[in-house]
Chains A and B, each alone.
Chain A
Amino acid sequence: MASAEAAGGSGPPAAPKSRKSVTGTRRTVAALFLLPALVLLGALVVYPIGYSVIRSFYDQSGDGFAGFDNYEALFTDDGIRTALKNNVIWVVFAPTVATALGLIFAVLTERVRWGTAFKLVVFMPMAISMLAAGIIFRLVYDQDPDKGVANAVWVGVHDTFAQASAFPKAHPGRESPLEAVSGGGFITKATVSAGTPVTLPLVGVAPDQMPGSAKTAVEAKADPDEVTGTTWQDFTRGKGVGTLGGVDASELGYAGMTIEAVKDGKVVARAEAADDGTFTLPAAADGARLRLPPDNFKEPYNGVDWLGPSLVTPAIIGSYIWMWAGFAMVLIAAGLAGIPRDLLEAARVDGANEWQVFRRVTVPLLAPVLAVVTVTLMINVLKVFDLVFIIAPGSSQDDANVLALELYRKGFSEDQPGIASAIAVFLLLLVIPVMWFNIRRLRREVRR
């Protein structure tokens, strides 16, 4: 610092002694002033790094020298490898998507009247701590559509196009005349004949889940020219099955259940149960087996398994982008403000359309800012911990694992400080090139 000033300023022509600098401070005084910073830096940064490096060469208890064993574990342990893989996914996707979104927001808000208000809203998540954001998104991604907004939207959209059935959990009870079909649904074990009323009892639908139109089930009347029968919930609340396979007083009919008569694998007749559960099939159904097709039992759509093993990492990256797109936007908007307007004007006068202006003028001019934002986010992403730790449920924490989380788990819950230190050193090695790039860039900026 002192030398820079010496070079810049044309000090007194006859500097008496080399021991004094231009400003007249002695080296010892300078050292004295630097001392507190050096001590703090040494104690809080250099010493921990040094100790971590040393510790990473010792075994679990810290007594025996382990050589490169911990580093070997680093690359053979399944958990750490998943963490490494996920870290790569994070570093590739999170910064680029966040920067891209930030760029889009910044360029667009420049043209909107309420741009500042919009920017404020997008930037707001930055004011929330990672921990709070994690808790928020744990709820957003909740599997239960009644709790998780992501699934609520998803299920809402899905259900507009595909309706769930009324009897998802219905199934044959004890000693039932029905048996399950491999593709779903149920079929009678025996064939049916006209003139003998058929009973198709099922259980597993609670009274309050019955369709509103369902009425008390009645036994079908025999008709020699038709196949008649009843399908109903063979379970009375508080009493159990009652008469097994027989209609009891307060049991409800399966209103709207579809019944198919199947002969040699072909559907010969089809009917829908009335509100009291009775149905009538034409004489053609005589000698057929009756099938309750799987459509009757379709499970309600339960949404996407956001926090399941396959989607958990993208889901968490989504929450990260929610937080950091605003940061990227603000930096890029600042860069954008510094672009000379006349260049854009000139391009427009030359006949470039808006997309060409954006693609050929704005983005190249912004490139240094974009690079800084991406690299800063990369460093930030390499150490991501809190979001993963909080959002991923225990069952998929392994699949969402990242290096920083693995470091914590190895160090504090598995009592493996040696391996944890090795992970820390490895993370440091990963960050150094990115940091070096950023610092070099910064220096160049300053020189310019």
Chain B
Amino acid sequence: MRSTSRNRTSRAARAAAAAAAGALALSLTACGGDDNDSGNEQGGNDQETAGTVTLPKLNGESLEVAAVWTGAEQENFKKVLAEFEKRTGAKVTFVPAQDPIINFLGSKVAGGQPPDIAMLPQPGAIKQAVDKKWAKPLGAEAINELQENYSQGWQDIGKVDDKQYGVYYKAANKSLIWYNAKVFENAGATEPKTWDELLTTAQTVYDSGVTPFSVGGAEGWTLTDWFENIYLSQAGPEKYDQLAKHEIKWTDPSVKDALTTLAQVWGKKDYVAGGANGALQTDFPASVTQTFTGGDQPKAAMVYEGDFAQVNITQAKAEVGTDAKVFPFPAVGDTAPVVSGGDAAVILQDSKAAQALATFLASPDAATIQAKLGGYLSPNKNVDNSAYPNAVQQKIAKSLIDSGDDFRFDMSDQAPQAFGGTPGKGEWKALQDFLKNPSDIAGTQQKLEADAAAAYGN
């Protein structure tokens, strides 16, 4: 959650795709060609639109949608809403919310005016909304659409007690390593596929005179994401789920292995830009920009983070795809990990219109519109990969979809906030201390376990 939300604020700077309107028109005509059963000609609008999803007529209805998105992201999402308005005749208002959105919704509900639909960023938040009886289950049509377009895994994380509440409209792929293409070229390094290859690549880069990794250690969430990728790949999804629920302890040998693996990068002299102390004062945006500025001699060659790092790369005046390239997080165990995040649409006020919008957001039509505008990733498997505007985006989307049900949701986002989401506390702090002293694996495990036990209350 932290990761995406941090970026939301800076995303305003990202220029809206130049041909936004043009792309929209394109997508509509492209859709218009293939089928027709849902002929949705709206009164007064001469443009013919058709899609894969059937939507009811909702003239005169009005809806409110709350999300924390700002800037270009909000603009692009509004275009999706505009398409819904055009197809159904309903009026949709976007309500800008603040992080953490669950608190924002709390005040709205208390005031008796919850939005019809809210975009919730974590499975924990959906559960909270259900527990508080704010969320309403999805209707048959929305579930139908969901089953058609989403893999089982993406459906399941939108469920609470076997009832479908959430439609994951937007996803984040947090298993990526961005690298400075020039440095790799200078060093003659190649994109690694396994952890050992990653270490070889790092050594080659280091031999060429550039520090291999940039770590934004001032913010703990980048460190938890590092750990989660290694743990998911090394210990496997089952253990990952158990650890996320704190069914196994952090003193488990599997955690020890993951930390040992992590120390191969964090603990090696000169492998982390600025050393441990420098990294601990580097915030996430700086960790990205310092990797892509400085010509032949950037502060580091590689930086680990999710697809949202593109925003910061663009801000560093580097071109994604030429200056900045990306490879999936290498496999530490048998398969490469896919750690993800995402925002789910949850209905708070049940109505025909709200159900229709949820159905629409579950359809490839909606996702394709925003995919074309860039800066967006959909977990919808029926979104054509070519809809993404550039090769890097296509690669990221492909690795997310290809992972099928083997992806896992960010572990620290699933944990209680005191453990997984508070600066200077819990997992964030323990991993920062670990970055500082990577030889103290047992001590780190004990600290993690003590904090986890307190936060989970077991």
Contact = CB atoms under 8 A, between A and B. Distances in A.
A209 B297 contact: yes
A393 B270 CA distance: 22
A169 interface: yes
Given A238-B186, A415-B417, A396 B207 contact: no
Contacts of A208: 296-297
Interface of B: 185-188, 204, 206-211, 217-220, 270, 274, 277-278, 280-281, 283, 296-297, 417-418, 421-425, 428-429, 432
Given A203-B209, A235-B207, A414-B422, 12 more contacts: A143-B277, A143-B281, A169-B206, A173-B207, A204-B270, A206-B186, A394-B218, A394-B423, A395-B424, A395-B432, A413-B422, A414-B418
A111 to B, nearest CB: 43
Contacts of B421: 413
Contacts of B423: 394, 397, 409, 413
B422 A205 contact: no
B424 A143 contact: no
B281 A393 contact: yes
Given A393-B281, A395-B432, A401 B424 contact: yes
A208 B298 CA distance: 11
Interface stretch (A215-223, A285-293, A301-309, A326-334): A301-309
Interface string A419-438: 00000000000000000000
Contacts of A305: 277, 281
B209 A395 contact: no
Interface residues of A, number: 37
Contacts of A209: 209, 297
Contacts of B428: 394
A447 interface: no
A206 B212 CA distance: 13
Contacts of B208: 203-204, 206, 235, 237, 240
A398 interface: yes
Contacts, number: 108
A173 B208 CA distance: 10
25 contacts: A79-B425, A143-B277, A169-B209, A169-B211, A169-B270, A171-B206, A171-B270, A173-B207, A203-B207, A203-B209, A205-B209, A206-B209, A207-B209, A235-B208, A235-B209, A238-B185, A238-B186, A239-B188, A308-B280, A308-B281, A393-B280, A396-B280, A409-B422, A413-B422, A415-B418
Of A240, A305, A395, A409, most B-chain CB atoms within 10 Å: A395
Interface string A377-396: 00000000000000001111
A313 B210 CA distance: 34
A413 to B, nearest CB: 5
Contacts of A205: 209
Contacts of B281: 142-143, 305, 307-308, 393, 395
Contacts of A237: 186-187, 208
Interface string A155-172: 000000000000001010
Interface string A129-148: 00000000000001110000
B429 A398 contact: yes
A305 B279 CA distance: 12
A398 B297 contact: no
A398 B207 contact: no
3 closest A-B pairs by beta carbon, nearest first, are A206-B209, A397-B424, A203-B207
B252 to A, nearest CB: 24
Contacts of B186: 206, 237-238
Contacts of A238: 185-188
Contacts of B297: 206, 208-209
A394 B209 contact: no
A214 interface: no
Contacts of A206: 186, 208-210, 296-297
Contacts of A308: 277, 280-281
Contacts of B217: 395
B279 to A, nearest CB: 9
A396 B270 CA distance: 22
Contact of A398 (B211, B270, B425): B425
B204 to A, nearest CB: 7
A72 to B, nearest CB: 15
A241 interface: yes
A302 B276 CA distance: 13
Nearest to B455: A414
A122 to B, nearest CB: 30
A235 B210 CA distance: 12
B425 A414 contact: yes
Contacts of A396: 280, 424
Interface in A15-45: none
B449 to A, nearest CB: 16
Nearest to B183: A206
A295 B412 CA distance: 44
A21 to B, nearest CB: 46
A423 B296 CA distance: 52
A143 B274 CA distance: 9
A240 B425 contact: no
Nearest to B187: A240
Contacts of A142: 281
Of A144, A171, A241, A308, most B-chain CB atoms within 10 Å: A144
Contact of B188 (A233, A240, A393): A240
Nearest to A397: B424
B274 A394 contact: no
Nearest to A414: B418
B428 to A, nearest CB: 7
A373 B209 CA distance: 56
A306 to B, nearest CB: 9
Nearest to B429: A398
Interface string A243-265: 00000000000000000000000
Contacts of A395: 217-218, 220, 280-281, 424, 429, 432
A146 to B, nearest CB: 10
A308 B277 CA distance: 7
Contacts of A204: 206-209, 270
A292 B209 CA distance: 18
Contacts of B283: 393-394
Contacts of B188: 238-240
Nearest to B433: A395
Contacts of B280: 308, 393, 395-396
A173 B209 CA distance: 12
Contacts of B220: 394-395
A28 B376 CA distance: 67
A281 B278 CA distance: 40
Given A206-B297, A208-B297, A414-B417, A398 B274 contact: no
A229 B356 CA distance: 79
A428 B280 CA distance: 34
